[in-house]
């Protein structure tokens, strides 16, 4: 069941906008209202004139990181502050470590490179509009990402870590998040951090 009914798309390419709209509607059982911001002016107006009573109606934000050649990281941070409980996914090829860290720090769920696949988009939908129905699949995906992680790939490391932190935030009393973090830290030779999270997981398991 869809709890909310709005998706915000921030993208300048008309073909990509049409693709996202079609993919949203194809994955949703009910009609979804989709708002498009395709230039800097529309983004600024959305931020400046945002109606706070509308914040709970948005389930998902899909966004480029560059519009008209301009980095919009700071604007996305403002939008995330307005829509604190809304899932935000960056879909862009204009990735840098600095941008990735900034986006994950202010609460973006993930950064996905274009072109987004049907499987990736389905995961986005289930993690936002259908949140809660995809729990086991999310854990399985994270485990596979840890196993296949190339430790020198810092971008992928931060993305995997962010997935786990999101899981911990959503399910703080479930030890699985700590076990996954421990596995990630072991994989990257951070033994002390791994031990700390293994202990945290054991404590949660032994709580009455």
- Judge if 107 and 145 occupy the same domain: no
Long-range contacts of 200-203 (CB under 8 A, 24+ apart): 200/175, 201/175, 201/176, 202/175
- Judge if 122 and 146 occupy the same domain: no
**pLDDT tens column, 27-85:** 776 678 899 999 999 999 999 999 888 777 888 999 999 999 999 999 999 999 999 88
**pLDDT tens column, 102-146:** 999 999 999 999 999 988 998 888 777 766 545 677 788 899 999
Instruction: Count the neighbouring beta carbons within 10 Å of the beta carbon of residue 29.
Output: 9
- Judge if 45 and 126 occupy the same domain: yes
Total domains in the fold of the chain? 2
Distance CA 66, CA 13 (A): 11
- The backbone region for 89, taken as left when phi is positive above 0, alpha when psi lies in -120 to 50, beta otherwise, is beta
Structure tokens at 73: 């990281």
Calculate ∠ Cα 51-38-11, nearest 5°: 105
- Judge if 28 and 115 occupy the same domain: yes
Q: CATH number, domain at 166?
A: 1.25.40
Pick the last residue of a domain from 132, 162, 185.
Answer: 132
Pick the last residue of a domain from 87, 108, 132.
Answer: 132
- Is residue 88 classed as helix, strand or coil in its secondary structure? strand
- Judge if 148 and 197 occupy the same domain: yes
- Judge if 8 and 63 occupy the same domain: yes
Residue-level length of the chain: 208
Residue closest to 7 by CA, chosen among 18, 20, 16: 20
- Judge if 113 and 77 occupy the same domain: yes
Bridge-partner residues for 34, per DSSP? 7
- Judge if 48 and 13 occupy the same domain: yes
Q: CATH number, domain at 104?
A: 3.40.50.2300
- Judge if 159 and 86 occupy the same domain: no
Cβ pair 11, 76 in contact under 8 A: no
- Judge if 30 and 52 occupy the same domain: yes
pTM of the model: 0.69
- Judge if 103 and 146 occupy the same domain: no
- Judge if 189 and 108 occupy the same domain: no
Q: Return the pLDDT at 131.
A: 60
Question: Which domain does 143 fall in, by range?
Answer: 134-208
**Strand order through the sheet with 110-112:** 33-37, 6-10, 58-63, 87-91, 110-112
**pLDDT tens column, 80-109:** 999 988 899 999 999 899 999 999 999 999
Pick the last residue of a domain from 80, 111, 132.
Answer: 132
């Amino acid at each position: 069941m869809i709890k909310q009914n709005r998706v915000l798309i921030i993208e300048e390419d008309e073909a990509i906008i049409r693709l996202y709209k079609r993919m949203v509607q194809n994955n949703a059982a009910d009609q979804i209202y989709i708002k498009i911001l395709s230039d800097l002016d529309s983004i600024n107006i959305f931020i400046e004139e945002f109606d706070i009573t509308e914040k709970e109606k948005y389930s998902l934000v899909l966004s480029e990181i560059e519009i008209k050649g301009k980095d919009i990281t700071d604007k996305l941070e403002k939008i995330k502050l307005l829509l604190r409980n809304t899932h935000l996914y960056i879909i862009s090829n204009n990735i840098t470590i600095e941008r990735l860290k900034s986006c994950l720090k202010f609460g973006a769920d993930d950064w996905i490179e274009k072109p987004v696949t049907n499987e990736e988009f389905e995961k986005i939908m289930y993690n936002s509009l259908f949140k809660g129905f995809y729990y086991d699949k999310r854990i399985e995906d994270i485990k596979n990402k840890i196993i296949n992680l190339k430790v020198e790939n810092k971008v992928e490391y931060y993305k995997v870590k962010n997935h786990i932190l999101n899981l911990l935030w959503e399910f703080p009393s479930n030890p699985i998040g700590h076990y996954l973090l421990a596995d990630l830290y072991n994989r990257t030779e951070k033994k002390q951090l791994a031990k700390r999270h293994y202990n945290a997981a054991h404590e949660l398991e032994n709580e009455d």
